[in-house]
Amino acid sequence: MRPVYALLVPIVLATACGPKPTRTVSPSPLQPAKAQSERPAAAPAISAQAVRSHIAFLAADAQEGRAPGTAADTRVQTYVEKAMMAAKLEPGLANGFRQSFEIVDGVRVYAGTETLLDVSGLIVPHRPVPFSADTKASGPVVARLVYVGFGIPKGQGGGDYRGLARKVKGSIVVARAGGPDDPRIGEAERRAQSKAIAARDHGAVGFILWDPSAEVPLPNHGEARDLGLPAVFVGKAGTQQLVRVLSRGRADDAEAVRPGARSSKMGTLQTPVERVQVATANIVGKLPGPGANAPILVVGAHMDHLGFGNASSLAPDRREIHNGADDNASGVAVMLELCAALARLDAKARPFEIRCLAFGAEEMGLLGSKHYVEGLAAAERERIAAMLNFDMVGRLGPDGLIVDGVGTSKAWAELIAATKADLVVRTGEGGYGPSDHSSFYGAEVPVLHMFTGAHEDYHKPSDDLAKINVDGAVAVALFSERLVKEVLARKLVPDYVAQTRPSPRRGGFRASLGTVPDYAARVDGVRLEGVRAGGAAEKAGLRKGDVIQRLGERDVHNVDDYMAAFAEMKPDVAITVVVERDGNRVELQLTPQAPPSR
């Protein structure tokens, strides 16, 4: 599970005939219910056997954790596609059910080559990192190693680099992971990428991130941006050799190495690495509405999980299959059976098009749902009346079902109350959250997110079928079926209520801009999904869609540059911001704010 801001603009939906209705905005947003005799006949019940069967396939060891880009990922896509076809859904895309897209997932060493960290014949065990430059064409860098402590950057020549400028220039910088126990040091300064950028800014030719106690390497997963210099990670396995090099053989303990320590001999660092491009897909099926302009109701869930474990695993020291029975085989199972039940309705009882989506790469940052939403034509996007998202709905307990997004439309609270029956339902207001509904809410679509709660097996190998409450998942599906049928019976187009994305709290960053970055956008810079009301960015005139290309004295080419700039900002000290807006360069003055208190 995983973030998008929306502008307060009415959405106009087209229906099959007659004038185009706008979303309901009256204090009582629900149309009068039809008489019971006019309601569609009850469809066959959603069966526990069918739900369990889906989860059993998706969460089997044979699917190896459903990591994007794997053969198992493709098998799961085929399974979901066939399940939609069996339920009599039509292809939801012009060319079929499958919407393919590519993502970056870390780096790998070129075939026939190897990375190297060698100090005059002493080989230091290490691992590649996703922000390293590729030295295959340029060849290795040869330089002395210089230790800079935590490598905390606070502007040019400041922080842990104070007094070390001459030693650092032309060297391979060694910086400890993390940071000191100092609340004044924010998250931006502690990031590994910010440390590599600081080393580069000070003229280093290579970078080593060092964690003396780490038995697990720095995660090599997800977006992998080249920060301009070869870089590796050294953990516990290489600490003895690194201490020997930096102390010139006079110490055997990492804590004895002092900032400014320098190797007496030259080191060789080579990182022949390439970005890993993998292909995955969304699966899209539909139940047609009464016409080409009918409103669309989206029902979605994500297919992917963590494979054998990655940076998101909460058992990082265990390379085991993470089956993700709850996260999110349960959601896919409920989505498939809900769509199958809706397919059994008479077409006359479906005044909307029902669009059923299984998203790829959610665990990597909602990439599948973002790809889908961004690929919609404006007219098609405006037809989406609402989106229901199912993520982790397999552990229903006494506390009941959590339904988030109730504040995204005035219609939801009454509708839930009218359809929950005996199900215990707890509601949350927010439309933003760490799952795929957030991508739709950012496109000004009312959303509901179904979730049965967190548990100790979340993102661990222990999230298995045996722990799923199948009857509970069926109860969630039946509640959702009642809710959707009520929407259809009332021909309800929910009104859209804009919310501000929650602001990060004090302690993470020393300054706040009030920006909402689009972390998945592939642009030269950082594109904004939005700006927070009352924040520094809004006051400065920044807008949704702007691409930040400079913050203060720092050029911004990617999210890592953007984050590194936070290490150099201070509240109430104005900076210049340069953005690309509609093909034009726009320069603005922005005054960062102090982060909101908890």
pLDDT at 158: 54
How many other C-beta atoms can be found within 10 angstroms of the C-beta atom of residue 466?
A: 7
pLDDT at 251: 81
Q: At 358, is the secondary structure helix, strand, or coil?
A: strand
**DSSP E strands: which ranges in 460-574?**
515-517, 526-531, 547-551, 554-555
**Position with higher pLDDT, 12 vs 236:** 236
What topology is assigned to 515-590 in CATH?
A: Pdz3 Domain (2.30.42)
pLDDT at 26: 33
What is the CATH code for 114-271?
A: 3.50.30.30
- Burial (Cβ within 10 Å: 0-12, 13-18, ≥19) of residue 423: middle
| Owner of token pair 């920044």 | 542
User: What's the CA gap between 373 and 439, in Å, rounded?
Assistant: 7
User: What's the CA gap between 462 and 210, in Å, rounded?
Assistant: 31
Average pLDDT over all residues of the chain: 89
For range 107-121, the mean pLDDT: 96
What topology is assigned to 36-105+277-490 in CATH?
A: Aminopeptidase (3.40.630)
**597 band by pLDDT with thresholds 50, 70 and 90:** low
Which residues, in sequence order, are CB contacts of 423 under 8 Å at separation 6+?
Answer: 400, 401, 475, 476, 479
Which residues, in sequence order, are CB contacts of 473 under 8 Å at separation 6+?
Answer: 51, 55, 330, 333, 334, 393, 394, 396
Per mean pLDDT, which range of 102-111, 398-407, 505-514 is the poorest?
A: 505-514
- The CA-atom distances, in angstroms, between 30 and each of 415, 418, 483, 598 are 8, 11, 13, 37
Q: At 89, is the secondary structure helix, strand, or coil?
A: coil
How many other C-beta atoms can be found within 10 angstroms of the C-beta atom of residue 37?
A: 5
**165 band by pLDDT with thresholds 50, 70 and 90:** confident
How many other C-beta atoms can be found within 10 angstroms of the C-beta atom of residue 7?
A: 11
pLDDT at 44: 54
**Domain spans in the chain, listed from the N-terminal domain onward:** 36-105+277-490, 114-271, 515-590
Instruction: Answer for the pair 400, 445: CB distance below 8 angstroms, yes or no.
Output: no
User: What's the CA gap between 83 and 75, in Å, rounded?
Assistant: 12
Name the residue among 576, 525, 574 with its Cα closest to residue 551. Answer: 576
Instruction: Answer for the pair 472, 531: CB distance below 8 angstroms, yes or no.
Output: no
Name the residue among 428, 391, 424 with its Cα closest to residue 407. Answer: 428
Within 13 Å and on the Cβ side, how many CA atoms surround 98?
15
pLDDT at 583: 93
Per mean pLDDT, which range of 26-35, 69-78, 354-363 is the poorest?
A: 26-35
Q: At 470, is the secondary structure helix, strand, or coil?
A: helix
Note the pTM of the prediction, 2 decimals: 0.84
How many other C-beta atoms can be found within 10 angstroms of the C-beta atom of residue 469?
A: 17
Name the residue among 432, 366, 100, 76 with its Cα closest to residue 223. Answer: 366
User: What's the CA gap between 147 and 48, in Å, rounded?
Assistant: 60
Within 13 Å and on the Cβ side, how many CA atoms surround 127?
19
How many other C-beta atoms can be found within 10 angstroms of the C-beta atom of residue 243?
A: 22
Runs of H (alpha helix) within 70-191: 71-86, 165-168, 187-190
Per mean pLDDT, which range of 218-222, 264-268, 508-512 is the poorest?
A: 508-512
